[in-house]
């Protein structure tokens, strides 16, 4: 009852890219209750994370004071936790900590050049914070070595989308499924990872929509599927090319659409000749009959959508996987009309917005190339800065390699945890240990903070003001329901002061001033005003000050030459490492319903941690029997990178030669095992396929 609370504040859930709107009920300075409200993406619904995953913001582990590493501290990398932190760090005033943080970064710049310093921003921060972060590196250090976790999730999807349809965002909101006849969901597990979006997918099947689920694991939505296509891990291109082969062979494609809106069709058609279902069945493990059925269902529908997740993107052939999905949508005329579209389901609540805001090494805000002199000038004119490099910057994993090699000597990391989230994480940890000056800005002592020289206490989403953009391109306001604990500050304010202290002439009195600066060079924000956002959620592009925004784009052409989308043929590439006698099984990683990414928030949320307290992996019951392991006992998982011990669960949905490992658990960190091999285009690591040995522990 509202009289039980002191205040109620509208904001947005801090977890997944669905972007559910919430009402935060506050009593005695603490959030006590979270309720879903009527946002366009959730219509009042919430999943267990949004409903119960809020008390981490009041956890006793919150950082409340700036910390500086003690001169007599033990070696970097040892586990710092709330009970022993003062062996490693001492409390400092903001003035001392900021002087130390900025002095270290600018000192490295002055001694070795700007490229000695790199930055990782965060998809958990707001659009304004992401914008300021990339501006800090570009203006302050004159290069583009700035990135964030999109590199680890949908970088390959975005690469393929920009290449072939001219824009990295979704072409239709997930709500458009209500107008679709058929939908493919591939490499995604929405019931666990986008649970509120999954409710729309289930409703779609209840009104007769045909759902085709494609995944090496039998994910939960299979229960609602017309076809569950369980293919061998890493064989997406062979399977998708076979489906498109059938569409060509049986002339099920949309000639009119292809002729009017696309280019390179003849090359695609010729390329697909070699991918018959019979030939590809051997590779992907799907019967020719099922491949033909899926082709006919999808191509025969009036309107179809394609959704995909990290199962598609996190491979060395992630860009090729996305190219195939784009080609499938284009050849069937399924872009730019109601009930049709391409939708990579975004993971973090603001990974779309952070990417839009330019927190990527190759693009300025709105995906404008850093290599274009005119575009760079448009930004430096606004920023009043010297020109920054016209070279594409380094990505997350490349920055880590350069740090390991000693070429990058200083880093500013805001709200990211690469010591848990990077592939082959021991390599990333060694790289962090080599840095001469590491500034970590976060709300907890993360594993990355083990390597920090200075730690700046920052804010949780429910403590800050700004905007975020969800998977649907919907821009929404977040508002502070409570104040940050102790001396902690909003992230954007910390970046502004740091910028001033490294010599930049920044002056922002309010976060709305940052938003208004973004609008100058971001056409995607046309007609979206701070005033409107006080009461509205607005989908970009918005065509007028009264337009709530366009749920579907590209009905009248693509933002490419001559308005045409492009077919880019994709060939089969084997995963980077194959199972062999030493490592005979396949490991794949992902999330589970209750925990979020590296677990720093959800494992400090009482209800979520109580439901899922222990690191676990999933194996087929037959595999467990073969190993002599009972469910609940522990197994040792080993790859060429390292090994972990973890509790085993039985799950019939996992293939007999596979193990699924969530990556939220520091005590059994999945990324000790993962393969850092990169997709050559999107530079995304192959998280979804590692050769692994599984033994009873
Ligand atoms: Fe939050 Fe995503 Fe759950 Fe919505 S579906 S409540 S955004 S975690």
Give the model's pLDDT for residue 252.
98
Rounded Cα distance, 456 and 388, in Å:
27
CB of 80 within 6 A of ligand 1: the answer is no
Q: Which residues of 634-660 are buried (b: 16+ CB within 10 A; e: fewer)?
A: bbebbbebbbbebbbebbebbbebbbb
Mean pLDDT of 254-274: 98
Give the model's pLDDT for residue 320.
93
Mean pLDDT of 481-497: 98
CA nearest to 197, candidates 181, 214, 183: 183
Ligand 1 atom with least separation from CA of 16: 2
Mutation test residue for ligand 1: of 22, 23, 41, 42, the one with most atoms within 8 Å of CB: 42
Give the model's pLDDT for residue 640.
94
CA nearest to 393, candidates 406, 378, 376: 376
Give the model's pLDDT for residue 214.
97
Least confident of 322-331, 652-661, 682-691: 682-691
CA nearest to 212, candidates 325, 313, 310, 317: 325
CB of 346 within 6 A of ligand 1: the answer is no
Handedness of CA 590, 354, 318, 394 (dihedral sign): negative
Mean pLDDT of 172-186: 97
Q: Are strands 210-214 and 182-186 parallel, antiparallel or unpaired?
A: parallel
Dihedrals φ, ψ of 410, to 5°? -140, 145
Exposed / middle / buried, residue 486 (Cβ in 10 Å: 0-12, 13-18, 19+):
exposed
- Residue pLDDT, tens place only, 520-537: 999 999 999 999 999 999
How far is residue 196 CA from its own chain's centroid?
Answer: 17
- Residue pLDDT, tens place only, 542-583: 999 999 999 999 999 999 989 999 999 999 888 889 899 999
Ligand 1 atom with least separation from CA of 48: 3
Q: What is the ipTM of this complex?
A: 1.00
Give the model's pLDDT for residue 417.
87
Question: Looking at residue 632, what DSSP letter applies?
Answer: T
Least confident of 101-105, 195-199, 219-223: 219-223
Q: How confident is the model at residue 671 (pLDDT cuts 50, 70, 90)?
A: confident
Ligand 1 atom with least separation from CA of 195: 5
Least confident of 113-122, 165-174, 671-680: 671-680
CB of 475 within 6 A of ligand 1: the answer is no
Rounded Cα distance, 254 and 299, in Å:
9
Ligand 1 atom with least separation from CA of 596: 8
Q: DSSP of 597-624, one letter per residue?
A: TTSTTGGGSHHHHHHS-S-EEEE-HHHH
Q: Are strands 227-229 and 182-186 parallel, antiparallel or unpaired?
A: unpaired
- Residue pLDDT, tens place only, 8-40: 999 999 999 999 999 999 999 999 999 999 999
Residue 598 in this model has a pLDDT that exceeds 80: no
Mean pLDDT of 405-420: 94
Whose CA is closest to atom 1 on ligand 1? 50
Q: What is the pTM of this model?
A: 0.93
Residue 502 in this model has a pLDDT that exceeds 80: yes
Residue 151 in this model has a pLDDT that exceeds 70: no
Whose CA is closest to atom 2 on ligand 1? 16
Give the model's pLDDT for residue 312.
83
Residue 382 in this model has a pLDDT that exceeds 80: yes
CB of 309 within 6 A of ligand 1: the answer is no
E strand spans, 348-414: 363-364, 368-369, 410-414
Residue 152 in this model has a pLDDT that exceeds 80: no
Give the residue, 478 or 428, on which the prediction is more confident. Answer: 478
Mean pLDDT of 663-686: 85
CA nearest to 568, candidates 275, 210, 394, 320: 320
Residue 198's contacts (CB-CB under 8 Å, 6 or more residues apart) are: 190, 191, 220, 221
Q: Are strands 585-590 and 410-414 parallel, antiparallel or unpaired?
A: unpaired
Average pLDDT in the chain: 94
Q: Is 39 left (phi over 0), alpha (psi -120 to 50) or beta?
A: beta
């Amino acid at each position: 009852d509202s009289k039980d609370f002191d205040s109620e504040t509208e904001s947005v859930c801090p977890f997944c890219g669905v972007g559910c709107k919430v009402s935060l009920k506050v009593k005695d300075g603490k959030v006590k209750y979270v309720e879903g409200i009527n946002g366009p993406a959730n219509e009042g619904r919430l999943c267990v994370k949004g409903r119960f995953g809020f008390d981490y913001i009041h956890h006793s582990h919150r950082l409340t004071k700036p910390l500086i590493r003690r001169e007599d501290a033990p070696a970097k990398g040892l586990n710092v936790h709330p009970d022993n932190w003062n062996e490693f760090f001492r409390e400092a005033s903001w003035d001392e900590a900021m002087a130390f943080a900025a002095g270290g970064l600018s000192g490295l710049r002055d001694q070795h050049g700007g490229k000695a310093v790199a930055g990782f921003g965060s998809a958990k921060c707001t659009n304004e914070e992401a914008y300021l972060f990339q501006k800090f590196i570009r203006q302050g250090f004159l290069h583009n070595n700035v990135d964030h976790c999109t590199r680890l999730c949908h970088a390959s999807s975005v690469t393929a989308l920009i290449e072939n349809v001219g824009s990295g965002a979704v072409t239709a909101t997930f709500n458009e499924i209500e107008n679709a006849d058929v939908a493919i969901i591939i490499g995604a597990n929405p019931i666990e990872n986008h649970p509120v979006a999954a409710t729309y997918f289930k409703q779609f099947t209840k009104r007769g929509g045909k759902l085709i689920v494609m995944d090496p694991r039998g994910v939960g939505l299979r229960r609602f599927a017309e076809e569950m296509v369980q293919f061998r891990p890493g064989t997406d291109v062979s399977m998708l090319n076979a489906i498109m082969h059938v569409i060509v062979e049986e002339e099920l494609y949309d000639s009119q659409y292809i002729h009017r809106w696309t280019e390179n069709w003849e090359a695609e058609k010729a390329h697909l000749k070699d991918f018959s279902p019979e030939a590809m069945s051997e590779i992907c493990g799907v019967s020719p009959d099922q491949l033909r059925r899926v082709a006919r269902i999808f191509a025969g529908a009036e309107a179809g959508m394609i959704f995909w997740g990290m199962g598609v993107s996190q491979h060395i052939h992630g860009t090729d996987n996305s190219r195939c999905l784009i080609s499938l949508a284009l050849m069937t005329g399924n872009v730019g009309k109601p009930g049709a579209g391409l939708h990579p389901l975004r993971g973090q609540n603001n990974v779309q917005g952070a990417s839009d805001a330019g927190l990527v090494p190759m693009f300025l805000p709105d995906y404008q190339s850093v290599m274009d002199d005119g575009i760079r000038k448009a930004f430096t004119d606004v920023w009043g800065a010297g020109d920054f490099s016209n070279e594409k910057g380094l990505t997350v994993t490349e920055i880590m390699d350069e740090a390991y090699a000693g070429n990058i000597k200083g880093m500013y990391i805001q709200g990211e945890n690469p010591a848990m989230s990077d592939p082959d994480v021991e390599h990333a940890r060694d790289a962090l240990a080599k840095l001469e000056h590491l500034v970590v800005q976060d709300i907890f002592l993360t594993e990355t903070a083990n390597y920090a020289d200075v730690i700046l206490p920052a804010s949780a989403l429910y403590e800050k003001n700004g905007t975020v953009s969800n998977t649907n391109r919907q821009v929404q306001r977040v508002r502070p329901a409570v104040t940050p604990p102790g001396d902690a500050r909003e992230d954007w304010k910390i970046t502004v002061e740091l910028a001033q202290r490294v010599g930049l002439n920044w002056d922002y009195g309010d976060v709305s001033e940052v938003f208004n600066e973004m609008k100058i060079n971001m056409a995607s924000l046309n007609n979206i005003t701070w005033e409107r956002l006080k009461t509205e959620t607005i989908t970009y592009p918005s065509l007028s000050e009264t337009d709530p925004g366009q749920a579907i784009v590209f009905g009248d052409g693509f933002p490419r030459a001559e308005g045409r989308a492009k077919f880019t043929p994709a060939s089969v590439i084997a995963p980077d490492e194959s199972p062999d006698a030493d490592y005979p099984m396949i490991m794949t990683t992902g999330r589970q319903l209750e925990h979020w990414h590296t677990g720093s928030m959800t494992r400090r949320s009482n209800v979520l941690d109580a439901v899922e307290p222990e690191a676990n992996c999933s194996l087929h019951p037959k595999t467990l029997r073969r190993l002599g392991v009972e469910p609940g006992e522990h197994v040792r998982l080993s790859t060429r990178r390292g090994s972990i011990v973890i509790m085993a669960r039985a799950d019939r949905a996992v293939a007999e030669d596979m193990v699924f490992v969530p990556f939220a658990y520091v005590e059994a960190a999945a990324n000790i095992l993962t393969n850092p091999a990169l997709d050559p285009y999107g530079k995304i690591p192959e998280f979804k396929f590692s050769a692994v040995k599984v033994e009873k522990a």
